[in-house]
Each structure stands twice: as structure tokens, then as C-alpha cells.
Structure 1
């Protein structure tokens, strides 16, 4: 079910951008994506779809005001610098939904309980478990994937799960080293492809740091 007809998205990370595109596919009019940072946070493969669809990104901006009585009727977008709204930059637009996609963090509670080594990686959402190239943590036999391994997006989460599963199957003797390496190489190539481009470079570099520290 569509939550409304004219939707404004706050947050240009993968979740915000993907949901905005899905809303567009479902028939909604997505009037824009507002991002407080000066750069788009999503991977290029997702952000490019939004740009091709003609949906504007309002970078370095925030919502100054939401107007309405029984429901949202208008939103005021304004430039945002040093924690302050820049006066004179306000722009009003008609909307009936403001969707908020910000503040995500890794789900690392179970890994913490298991004694897995963590580090603070801001590009991936904060404190998170360190892991090696096979998604195995500092505790042998414990693997992480998806939002536990850092906030990214659904396609990445699924492939990280496949990578962890292949590594676990190899460790348990269900796959030979050659079979496992062939499977893992294909998955890593897909993950690298998802993280490529001007919008994914920061997360690619962050993942490399996580693996270096987790080895």
C-alpha cells in the first residue's frame, strides 16, 4: 500500500534511495531526496536510477518545517550548514508524506555477547564486529553478514550471507577448498561491483579497513 501520493525522502543512503525508487515504481510522485551531508550516501548503482528518473537530490539541506493540520500538507526544505538552517534558502513544496531514512546502525548485540572484537567504523554505521574476507569474526566459527557486518543494503546483505555460508561449508568439510574459492570469488566480485562508483568509495574503503583489522 502506498502511504501517500507526493512523498519527500530524508536521507540519501542506500535505504532511502532504494525505497524512494520502489515508491516511484509503485506509482508515487517522489518530489525529492533531502540529504544533510554534501554528498550522496548511496551506491552509484542505486543513486543513478534516481537521477535517471529525474528525482532531485537536495544536498547539504534539511527539513526546516512540516506544515499541515490532520496530516502533512507541505514541507519546507532549506540549506543546512554547521548545524544551522541558512536563512533565505527555504523552499516550500506540497507533500503528503515525509519519509525518514536516517540513523541506521549495525545490529551487533549478539556478536558482542559472543565476545567478538568490535571497532568504530563511522562509514558503516558505528560500532560493529570486525571480520575477515570470509566474514568470519575474531571468534572462530562465528560469521557475520548483513546489517550485523555494517549498514549497507539488501543485495549486499544477501551476498555477504552467501559468502559466509560458503566459508562455513568449507570449514565444516562440505566444500573442497577449490569449490569454495570458486564460489567465494564470484560473490566477492559482485560485492565489489555493488560498492563501486563515486557514492560507494567510502564504504569500499571502510570494508577494506574492517578486513585488515579483522585478519
Structure 2
């Protein structure tokens, strides 16, 4: 079971609790604006592990890129591949020790516009997610093989990246990268996220001339 708890005025998202049940911090904007759900998806966990960062270390606009990629791939019937996503981005770290991590488009450009051009005051709205009576050896939502599925606490040494070596891609991933490159980028992040709740997702995509590119 998870419990969402308010934080005291003295708490910060970068803090690590030394006593009590395991927990991690999340910004409200992740859920309110971007449709993040708990437990996190495998793709989201894979990304956080790849960059060695807790969820709250990543800027909301960067979470928007992750979520929009998941929605776009799901609507188009394309595998949600970490290596495909990494092919379009690079990671920029803020000033240590508590700088926020941000995704920027790679040398060939990213996939989406930022969700918001000005995410003001988002750092003031966060809460604690506490895992109550969760057995790491039995739980599959937040643990795998007894270990956390992603870093719960802020990491001082996140792993930067600048795209991905094309030779590491499988043939299907290479095809997906090439198809995504052909899209009229950058795609509107808010529009793509809205497709998750649309009853006519493919029709809405056709209005953006995206479906035909993947159906050829």
C-alpha cells in the first residue's frame, strides 16, 4: 500500500529519510498536468535507472517528454523503447548538489515542445509517497528482486548522455527512429498527452498527419 503524505515546511525533495518506511517525493504537477501514475511504468523506471536519478530530480517539462513519448508510441502501435527515446535527447544537469535535471533535444532535435514555457512555483507543491507494509521480495510495483525499481532518493552523481550510438539499436528500433524523424517536429506536447484520454485517438492523429507516416 502507498500513502500520500503532506510535507513539513522544513522538508525538501532532495532529503533522505533515515527512519520509518521507505518513501520518495513527487511534485504535484507530475500528476495534475502530465498524467504520471503510480506505480511508474517500466519505461519510466528504466529511464530513471539509466540516468541514476530520483523522480523529483527531473524537471516537469522533461517528464512531459517521457509521458508524451509513451502516449505517442502507444497510439501508433510502436514499441516504447528507451533507446529510441534516448536517440532524440541529451541530459543537462543543474548546479550541484541539488540542481534539477533537464532533457534537451539532441543534435537532430527533440520530439516535443515543452509542456509549459514557464513552470513557476512547481517546487513548492510536492508530497511524500510512503510505502506502507510493502515487502520488497514480494512487491512488483516498486521493487524487483528485492531492490527498488528506480532510485527513491536524490543521487549526487546522475549519469548524463548525449543521444545513443545507432549501432546499439535493433532493426525495429532503427525503423522507429527513422519514422519519428520524419514527423513534423516538434510535436505539441499537450496535444499528444490529450490523446491518452481521447476516444478517437487515431482520428485526432490523422489531423496532425502522423498516422499515415507510420502506416506506409
Range into which the TM-score falls when normalised by the shorter chain: under 0.3
The answer to which structure has the higher strand fraction is 1
Q: Which has the higher contact order (CA 8 A, sep 6+)?
A: 2
